[in-house]
A and B are shown apart, each in its own frame.
Chain A
Amino acid sequence: MSLSRMLENWSRLNQRDYYKDEPIMWGMSIDLNKCTGCASCVTACYAENNIPAVGKEKCATGHTMHWLRIERYWDLPESEADLAVEESEYPERGAHFAPMMCQQCNHAPCEPVCPVAATYHNPDGLNAQVYNRCIGSRYCGTNCPFKVRYFNFFDYSEDIPHPMEMLLNPDLTVRSKGVMEKCTFCVQRLRNAKGDQADKGIRGHVEDGAVQTACQQSCPTEAIVFGNLKDSESKVSKAWEDHNVELNRHEQFHEEGERGYRVFEELNVEPSVMYLDRVRDTNA
């Protein structure tokens, strides 16, 4: 806390290419064609990140803490065939599932509004949440267009019955009452992977596939691909390239076979997660 820090040009933190010389930027690609909505990613996320299961009653009042949630959408009828199906006895043609977690925006709306700077962008392209610094004003949550921030409205850790606390993952904290939390891209795993590389004497590079997020690891259809977007050889940056999705673009221009988009990219928030649109056979 120095005067020079205070006189720094803070607006540069708002620039998307502030960390452009850093070797790592974590990113993700989710193929909605492959997603079956089985929710194993949600379960894995709960287990990995010590997320409290709040129970039936608190779920009903909207206090659920799922960092990763499966959103279910029913497609609007697009063609004559669709309308015929709508009118039939079984109108569903199957739902459309979208796993939704923190999009680790590169131009995150949650960051500038936090009064105590508890959420900030780290050099690895993650939108970091510092639990110890959070005072719980919940401004970040209201300003998040994805509404993927979860507030500890109760002290859930106190409710864990005795031997069950042994189940908690020791790699990360148990959050207390009054702080905001959200998906971290399993930052504890990323730190471990970076540490392992550092032990081998390699700095600033993590081999593709050396680290998996819990949701990616548990996805039976491998819909989720995770990796370093700055490594042009990684699976995730190839997927981004294949589907012609780029950072710093507010809408994606698609040719035949390219299905990539980022949710709410027109809001200029620069998400790090690319979704691949679901393909439907409209003539069936």
Chain B
Amino acid sequence: MSDFKMKDIAWAKINEDVLASLESPRKAFWIVLAVCFALVLCGAAAEIYQYNEGLGVALMNNPHYWQTYISNFVFWIGMSHSGTLLSAILLLTQADWRKPIYRFAEAMTFFSIATAAIFPVIHIGRVWDMYWVLPYPNQHAIWPNFRSPLLWDAFAITTYATSSALFLYIGMIPDLAICRDKAKGWRKKLYTAMSLGWMGRATEWIAFQKTYVLMACFLVPLAVSVHSIVASDFAMSMMPGWHVTSFPPYFVAGALYSGCAAIITLFVLLRYLFKFEAYMTPEIMDKTARLTFAIAMAWNFLNLSEYASIWYSHDMFEHEMLIDKFTGPYAGVVWTMLFCATIVPFAMAWKKVRVNMWAMFVISLLIQLGMWLERFQIVSPPLASNHEPWTQVAVWPGLVQMTITAASFGWFTMLFLIFCKVFPSVSMYEVKEMVYHRNKHGKKKLQDLEKIKDDMIKTEEGLS
């Protein structure tokens, strides 16, 4: 073993670099963590206040029953999709540039679901009875209502959270074993328990690869169905502006879009905080930006086709709602959304922008703002412009709602940063694979082929 290490210094360096991220991040790491923690505390205070006083303090009112809690829920569920995209879809399509960044994307998936799952709890009127949505044997002699999209949501979220957590964990096992070999103290105990006695035997690798690819095949359709179900919360209703058949694909595209933007944000953040400059290269950023651009175009197409199908339909209420979106009280939100999510991504057409970390950081934040507003303009304007003229009043989220929204960002970032501090956020074994393949298919390709052929002949001789 030692012989091998000496020969290939780069491989050992991968381990060292990634393991260093568990030890000494920049000072800014602690500052960001502290800010996030403070936000979470503010949000907790707001939630306690709302819980004691009643949901009215959030300034939702009687025709305006839903607001930012629902749009946040959709936003965070959406964000979780790109992690699956990056790790599962790109795994199946064998795009090897994903390897240094897929681990944190997977972690992002899991933590954004963890954030999204909080919002129904905050939103609901009697949270202490929330378990009634689950079909468990009970003395009420009543099942939940299987026709309700909210019930499908409950199933979808629990399934997606469980499988994405498993996917993240399974993919991490070989790396946890490396950590186990290097760590001391409490970390040693943690990694020993979590690496499940991984030895790196060939049989283990075969079983591991099979499981991992199978999980990926399971996760891709699951992710699509999860956001389609979230979309059906709206599409199944009869509100003008929500009752849109194209919502499921539109939501999935929007989810991938905002998620890709989030990957870019965290890419830049991690690269800086944990000194991953050698791994998260501008080349990978370029590819991620191209992917984001493609998804942005798909989303824009679906958005326009939604407007077009409303415009060319002859539904009076839908028409009125669409016009009200662009000219009514929420027009500012809609136009900002269109600027951030439709115009800003065109900046990524230039390669200079695509490889510039800080430019991409700003663009990704703008896209995320746009996509958050997109969720807001799905939920709120139809409630202020629906069938019943009596209810047509604009309602803006109050301080409580905005504090909890900000806290959700703090909560997500806090969990994510803690994860990156405790677990390797760059996949060591996959990066090694990548390095190996690149060497192999590079200049030395022909020699290697000769060598492999020789090896094979030798093995066959040995077998016979």
Contacts and interface: CB of A to CB of B under 8 A. Distances in A.
- A, B: real partners: yes
Interface of A: 1, 5-6, 10, 14, 58, 61-65, 69, 71, 73, 100, 109, 112-117, 133-139, 141-143, 145-147, 149-155, 177-180, 264, 267
B142 A117 contact: yes
Nearest to A69: B390
10 contacts: A109-B237, A115-B148, A115-B150, A135-B130, A142-B237, A142-B383, A152-B125, A177-B125, A179-B125, A179-B126
A178 B55 contact: yes
B149 interface: yes
Interface stretch (B20-28, B60-68, B413-421): B60-68
Given A147-B386, A154-B56, A137 B145 contact: no
Contacts of A114: 145, 148
Contact of B124 (A14, A64, A136, A149): A136
Given A116-B145, A142-B237, 15 more contacts: A1-B143, A14-B147, A62-B63, A62-B395, A113-B236, A113-B237, A115-B132, A115-B150, A135-B124, A136-B125, A139-B150, A141-B63, A143-B239, A154-B53, A154-B56
B140 interface: yes
Given A116-B132, A137-B150, A151-B65, A264 B141 contact: no
A69 B393 CA distance: 16
A143 B237 contact: yes
A52 to B, nearest CB: 12
B54 A154 contact: yes
A264 B239 CA distance: 13
B151 interface: yes
Nearest to A70: B390
Nearest to A117: B145
Chain A contact surface mostly: loop
A147 B132 contact: no
Interface string B137-164: 1101111111111110010000000000
Contacts of A264: 387
A120 B133 CA distance: 16
Contacts of A142: 65-66, 237, 239, 383
Nearest to B54: A154
Contacts of A117: 142-145, 148
Given A1-B137, A116-B133, A137 B124 contact: yes
A115 B151 CA distance: 5
Contacts of B125: 134-138, 151-152, 177-180
B239 A178 contact: no
A155 B133 CA distance: 23
B123 to A, nearest CB: 7
Contacts of A267: 238, 387
A100 B148 contact: no
B461 interface: no
Q: Which of A71, A115, A139 has the largest number of chain B CB atoms within 10 A?
A: A115
B145 A112 contact: yes
Nearest to A113: B148
Nearest to B387: A145
Given A62-B395, A134-B126, A115 B133 contact: yes
A59 to B, nearest CB: 10
B59 interface: yes
Contacts of A71: 389-390
B154 A115 contact: yes
Given A113-B236, A115-B133, A178-B54, A10 B147 contact: yes
A1 B132 contact: no
A14 B393 CA distance: 32
A156 to B, nearest CB: 9
Contacts of B393: 62
Contact of B142 (A1, A63, A112): A1
B61 A137 contact: no
A179 to B, nearest CB: 6
